[in-house]
Amino acid sequence: MELMYYYIPGLFTILLFVFFKSKQHTLKNQPPSPPSRPLFGHLHLVKEPVNRTLQAVSAMYGDILLLRFGVRKALLLTSPSAVEECFTKNDIIFANRPFRLAAKHLSYNYTTLSVAPYGDHWRNLRRLAATEIFSPSRIAMFTNTRRKEVMLLLSELMKKCEVGGGFCKVDLKSKFIELAFNTLSMTIAGKRYYGENVEDDEEARKVQFIMREMLVMSGNSNLGDFLPFLQWFDFKGLEKKFSTLMKKLDGFMQDLVDERRRVFLAADCVAEKTMIDHLLSLQQKEPSYYTDELIKGIVMVLIIAGTDTMSISMEWAMALLLNHPEAIKKVKAEIDTHVPQDRLLNEEDVPKLSYLQNVITETLRLYPPVPFLIPHQSSEDCKVGGYDISKGTVLLVNLWAIQRDPKIWENPTEFIPERHEERREGGFMMLPFGTGRRGCPGAGIANKVLGLVLGTLVQSFEWERVSEEMVDMTEGRGFSIPKVQPLEGICKPRQATIQHSLIPS
């Protein structure tokens, strides 16, 4: 108690110093700001679900707001024109990421593509992603891998239906996670973790748990990011938790790299069958740059971000279809018109299926994989919407709110795929994969996979809800927006599927 008596006045003095120091660099024409509280600023406004609470704040005070979270300033945007200004005119200025304790520990100390500071290293990673990972030729190389994983899912459902007397109940949430994880792990490392031919999927389930924990912890607000003095004594033990979590993830990633290295060396570098193989070939040419840590960082971002966003988007899309049987009928009719009944659709068919693409677009509008764009930070003073924005301001784009804004969208909370038939949105009213220099380079492949999975499921089976009640669409919490209630559905093979034996047993 005596120690606390001496420390508290000093701590309060430091807090006041930090608070007033943060106010020294103040520009004249700043955006409006809601009432704040001493020291904490607007942290009291950050309540779950953050996308909804901050949408309410913007509705009350304006679509361009300046908030203060502890010692940090944040520009909160729900204005498409202001977002456009940030990612066109001021794109370089907002190309950096703010410091976050979670990002430091869970990104190999800020060296991964998603959080690396804007500079030479980030540009190298971006070039690598564009030319070596997500290039059209590289994506085409793994077309058969994606198709095979979808066929394995269809075959599993068909067998369950045979056992169930012609129909079966399906845990779609788990199936979508398994499909996304298998597709990525086969593409990246040539290894499948779920399915009949897998001896033990316990490893995958452990990794899935770690990945989900990482995403939840990354999305949760950490007071230490806004009140740095809390980091002096590891507030709530977060650094220890992050370190333990990263140690587990790193071990999994290292095992993947080491396993592929053994295969790669045994093959005498002749065949490059996976993404890790390709990265290992680059490592041989330039070992000082393409270190194991850099390769692990690339693999981690691809697997974690890819599995989460793809599986969640599949689940939301299927939930919306189950709640709107008329939409399933339209998708089915479109596929029957454009795809011969004696074969399953493939990725080349998806661009012809405009209504299916509208369903995907509408799903991403209502339930974007992440409700906020990953935060950016200004590297110098600039102007946004006519307001002065100071250097070091964190940029928060409430994507979820923009895509449900009644000023932009008619009946914004309703699922209406037809709204996209004639309307082709500009790039700043719908940004499910981000935009600008730091937009997601995997947007193209994500849309391909969504189209292939949803299309083949609707083409191959009749789908119904498990009860007459509508599917519960309650949203979860975290970095992404998962469904709170895992999605289930009832499926029955379509007559054409049985007649033409489209799905091998």
**Residue 474 in contact with residue 485, Cβ under 8 Å?**
yes
Residue 486: HSE in the Cβ half-sphere, 13 Å Cα cutoff: 10
What pLDDT is stored for residue 197 in this prediction?
63
227/83: higher pLDDT: 83
Class of domain 2-107+118-499: mainly alpha
What pLDDT is stored for residue 268 in this prediction?
63
**Residue 76 in contact with residue 398, Cβ under 8 Å?**
yes
Distance CA 352, CA 350 (A): 5
Please give the structure tokens belonging to residue 277. Answer: 């193989």
Domain spans in the chain, listed from the N-terminal domain onward: 2-107+118-499
Average pLDDT over residues 190-202: 74
Point out the least confidently predicted range of 53-57, 107-111, 292-296, 469-473. Answer: 107-111
pLDDT, the chain, mean: 88
Could you give the dihedral angle defined by the CA atoms of residues 325, 316, 368 and 189, in that order, rounded to the nearest 10 degrees? -130
Distance CA 219, CA 196 (A): 34
What global pTM score does this model have? 0.90
What pLDDT is stored for residue 20 in this prediction?
42
Q: Indicate if the pLDDT at residue 302 is higher than 70.
A: yes
